A and B are shown apart, each in its own frame.
Chain A
Amino acid sequence: MKSNGYILVYTTSSAFKAEKILKNAGMNIKLVPTPRHLSSDCGISVYFEAASTDEITNLLDEKSIEYEIGGMEQADD
């Protein structure tokens, strides 16, 4: 199942690191201001569209990035 959502990180450096990894994997992502209701840890987070969270998890865990996934909703077909 494909979802939209936010990868919430604890430092902007991790956001840039995640951005590079996911873009290199061909994912449709962008850096956006973190919605306040989701987190206050870091000012920016990675917004993904129509992506598999399993794939995101595999890619980021391999590169030892600390993160959470939040604000998920099902992507339109």
Chain B
Amino acid sequence: MIYMDNAATTFPKPEQAAEAIRKFITDIGANAGRSGHSCSVRAGRVIYEAREAAAALFNIGDPLRVIFTLNATAAINTALYGILEEGDLIVTSDAEHNSSMRPIRELSQRKGIRLVTARTDENGVIDYDDLRAKSKGAKLISIAHGNNVTGAVSDIKSAADIAHENGAYFMTDAAQTAGLIEIDMESCGIDILCASGHKGLYGPQGTGIMILGENIDHRKMKTLFQGGTGSRSEEERQPEMLPDKFESGTANGPGIAGLSASIKWLSERGVEANYIHEKKLRDSLLAGLADIGCVELYASPAGSVSTGTLSFNIQGRESSEICYRLDSAYGIMTRAGLHCAPSVHRRIGTYPEGTVRLSVGAFTSLQDVDFTINAVKELASEK
């Protein structure tokens, strides 16, 4: 089996993650923050160390500003519903994933939030001039760092600068880039970072993070849901302190233990080394597919900063058929269709048909890439 769907979730995960999960569910097991016994303390320490690992990876001084969520979507919803109030203006791009677009549309239609979208180029990179022109009076600017269809990466420091010039907060959906591209929240000026734990951070599914920068006064944010936190139990009102304010209910202890081990593995391997590995593979994939006559590519160019993702179609063939044939005849796992991002496909001209998406990861080899190119070549040569 060749796994080319790392943009949906990376696979496999590092052995260290599996071992940490096993250890948590067989040796630790207790509910973090709910009891004072030593097992609960050990569970809590595992989760606190995960916060430290994430804070170090994204260069945030206070680990308590790392909030664990179910996934990137939950992180994005928590941030949007927390920050935006009736009458506020949010500026986003015309090439966002539904994890952002759906909550933003909902807020816009039902809660009186004003929405403006800034243009992107043919690969989904934000048009900084258009963003600047539309950002006056905005409360929040939210731009995806990496495009989940084309692999294009926007310069989030420039976008954050535009936000701050206009007195707005800057938030980024880093689901496609966290762990693959170095992100220094402080030097980039990112006020809120949302990411999956199970993609480029190589943790298990069911993990995500929202990190609040020092500029964000969390006491002014609203909570999306409320509940038990193991703290301030005499009060029936949600506590204000971090991270409890945004982490009601029992934490995903096993998942966070796995994520912590993965981030440690990633930090030892090096985000830069990971990028070089994926970039080399993606460039080979891009060059190999570009040589096939009837293949149409939807991908940011080889020379640009990109993720390990690209899309293609074979002229006259449905993406779903190609995806199925790659799986059934060659054992290659890909993803066809709209990739939860209809606005991206509208932007690149592949709506509603969609594309076949290939995405490499840390465990993909050059042989996997060559095998995939040959498979596409054979499918393209069929009449």
Residue B45 at the chain A interface, CB threshold 8 Å = yes
In the complex, which residue of chain A has the Cβ closest to the Cβ of B52?
A: A20
Residue B48 at the chain A interface, CB threshold 8 Å = yes
Interface centre among B32, B64, B239, B244 (most CB of A within 10 A): B64
B313 CB to nearest chain A CB (Å): 48
B317 CB to nearest chain A CB (Å): 52
Interface residue total, chain A, C-beta cutoff 8 A: 21
Q: Which one of B36-44, B75-83, B337-345, B354-362 is at the interface?
A: B36-44
Residue B213 at the chain A interface, CB threshold 8 Å = no
| Residues in B whose Cβ lies below 8 Å from that of A20 | 52
Residue B187 at the chain A interface, CB threshold 8 Å = no
B33 contacts A17, C-beta separation under 8 Å? no
In the bound complex, how far is the Cα of B41 from the Cα of A35, in angstroms?
Answer: 15
| Residues in B whose Cβ lies below 8 Å from that of A63 | 62
A40 contacts B239, C-beta separation under 8 Å? no
Interface centre among A12, A15, A16, A66 (most CB of B within 10 A): A12
In the bound complex, how far is the Cα of B47 from the Cα of A49, in angstroms?
Answer: 26
Residue A14 at the chain B interface, CB threshold 8 Å = yes
In the complex, which residue of chain B has the Cβ closest to the Cβ of A42?
A: B231
B232 CB to nearest chain A CB (Å): 6
A43 contacts B45, C-beta separation under 8 Å? no
B35 contacts A43, C-beta separation under 8 Å? yes
B232 contacts A41, C-beta separation under 8 Å? yes
Interface residue total, chain B, C-beta cutoff 8 A: 28
In the bound complex, how far is the Cα of B243 from the Cα of A10, in angstroms?
Answer: 11
In the bound complex, how far is the Cα of B233 from the Cα of A73, in angstroms?
Answer: 27
Interchain CB contact (< 8 A) of B48 among A13, A43, A66: A13
A41 contacts B231, C-beta separation under 8 Å? yes
Interchain CB contact (< 8 A) of B62 among A15, A40, A43, A64: A64
- Which residues between 22 and 77 of chain A lie within 8 Å of chain B, taking CB atoms? 31-34, 40-44, 63-64, 66
- Which residues between 21 and 79 of chain B lie within 8 Å of chain A, taking CB atoms? 32-37, 40-41, 44-45, 47-48, 51-52, 62-64
In the complex, which residue of chain B has the Cβ closest to the Cβ of A40?
A: B234
In the bound complex, how far is the Cα of B374 from the Cα of A47, in angstroms?
Answer: 64
As a 0/1 sequence over residues 244 to 286 of chain B, the CB contacts with chain A under 8 angstroms (1 = contact) are: 1000000000000000000000000000000000000000000
In the bound complex, how far is the Cα of B37 from the Cα of A69, in angstroms?
Answer: 21
Interchain CB contact (< 8 A) of B239 among A11, A17, A32, A64: A11
A31-B41, A44-B41, A44-B44 in contact; A12/B64 too (CB < 8 A)? Answer: no
Interchain CB contact (< 8 A) of B243 among A13, A15, A31: A13
A13-B244, A16-B44, A44-B41 in contact; A33/B232 too (CB < 8 A)? Answer: no
| Residues in B whose Cβ lies below 8 Å from that of A66 | 241
| Residues in A whose Cβ lies below 8 Å from that of B51 | 13
In the bound complex, how far is the Cα of B41 from the Cα of A33, in angstroms?
Answer: 9
Residue B319 at the chain A interface, CB threshold 8 Å = no
B34 contacts A13, C-beta separation under 8 Å? no
In the bound complex, how far is the Cα of B313 from the Cα of A24, in angstroms?
Answer: 56
- Can you list 24 pairs linking A and B with CB atoms under 8 Å apart? A10-B232, A11-B33, A11-B242, A12-B33, A12-B231, A13-B44, A13-B47, A13-B242, A14-B241, A17-B48, A32-B36, A33-B37, A41-B231, A41-B233, A42-B230, A43-B33, A43-B36, A43-B40, A44-B36, A44-B40, A44-B41, A63-B62, A64-B62, A66-B241
Q: 20 new A-B pairs (CB below 8 Å) besides A10-B241, A13-B244, A42-B231? A: A10-B231, A11-B231, A11-B243, A11-B244, A12-B32, A12-B33, A12-B44, A12-B48, A12-B230, A13-B47, A13-B64, A13-B242, A17-B64, A42-B33, A43-B35, A43-B230, A44-B36, A44-B40, A44-B41, A64-B62
Which 9 pairs across A and B sit closest by C-beta, in order of nearness? A33-B36, A16-B48, A12-B33, A43-B36, A11-B231, A11-B244, A12-B44, A44-B36, A42-B231
Binding site for B on A (CB under 8 A): 10-17, 20, 31-34, 40-44, 63-64, 66
Binding site for A on B (CB under 8 A): 32-37, 40-41, 44-45, 47-48, 51-52, 62-64, 229-234, 239, 241-244
